[in-house]
Amino acid sequence: MSELRLFLLLLGMGVIAAVYVWTRFNQQPRRPALRRRGARVPPDDEPDAAEIEHELALMERLLADDDISESQPVPASQPMPARQPMPAQQPMPAQQPMPAQQPMPAQQPMPAQQPVSETVAAAEAAAPPGLIVVSVVAEPGYVFAGEALARALHNNRLRYGDQNIYHRALYVGHREQPVFSVANLVKPGTFPSDGMHDFETPGVTLFLPLPAPIDNLEAFDDFVTTAERLAVELGGELRDEQHGLLSHQRLMQVRSSVESGHLQAASGPA
């Protein structure tokens, strides 16, 4: 502390002396640039000792005030108020569990419809040469409803007619002639004449006799297309004359035989 006081005292004295010198210098009258020869130049004013003493006393008083201020303890800063803790967040109410979904009731199986008795036996004799037979059969345990069957037959331009069965009839030579026919799979193979509301059957049989009243190949293509459309509309399956599943490959083989004329020749006179 004593060294600091000494340094400040010397610094203050130097500042005072510099201020005094600067002040006295500015107060001196300007000497003329020219003077007469032999003229005496008046001496500069002597420094005022009283003013120097007064400045030194003022500097000592300032230093004493600094010592007093340093000796007094600095008041301790007030502690910052402690931060109030954040209120604890209230826990979210527990979500109520979703009610368990009720199991969907099991679908009731459709009651199996009773097939019509006296169906055509599987071991029935094969069709004679020149007669192409294709059946549209319902799935096992099911039958075709009469109204749905009548609608499908009508959509495929089949008309109820001779022998109480349906026919594809075309005008040939100014006369309507059947090209192929559709019969009931159940003996005697007929359909009711008073409507199909209460009628049902396990299947129908389409048969195409050759030679046809039109081109044989054209008649065969119409015959197969009609059988496939009936199977799609009724949800049935195509079967051959032995009631086996009829594949597309087998149909193409029959078509080749029709195109070559083999089936027509077999059906001609002996």
Residues 58-101 pLDDT 10s: 777 766 665 555 555 545 545 554 555 555 555 555 555 444 43
Asked if 138 and 236 touch (Cβ cutoff 8 Å), the reply is yes
Q: What are phi and psi of 75, to 5 degrees?
A: -60, 135
Determine which of 71-75, 104-108, 225-229, 263-267 has the lowest per-residue pLDDT on average.
104-108
Write out the E strands in 106-234.
131-137, 144-145, 159-160, 166-171, 176-184, 200-201, 203-209
Sign of CA dihedral 192, 196, 198, 202: positive
Of the spans 44-48, 160-164, 262-266, which averages the highest pLDDT? 160-164
The Cα–Cα gap between 155 and 153 comes to: 5
Q: Which residue has the higher pLDDT, 66 or 163?
A: 163
Q: What is the CA radius of gyration of the chain?
A: 65
Domains of the chain: 131-266 (3.30.1400.10)
Is it the case that residue 137 has pLDDT exceeding 50?
yes
Strand partners, 119: 186
Tally: H helices and E strands in the chain: 6, 8
Of the spans 38-47, 112-121, 228-237, which averages the highest pLDDT? 228-237
Q: Which residue has the tokens 């193409």?
A: 252
The Cα–Cα gap between 122 and 114 comes to: 19
pLDDT for the residue 185:
96
User: What does the pLDDT look like over 17-41, one tens digit per residue?
Assistant: 887 777 776 665 554 444 444 444 4
For residue 52, what are its two tokens?
């120097």
Q: Work out the mean pLDDT of the chain and round it to a whole number.
A: 74
Is it the case that residue 170 has pLDDT exceeding 70?
yes
Which of 263, 195, 189, 190 is CA-nearest to residue 223? 263
pLDDT for the residue 37:
43
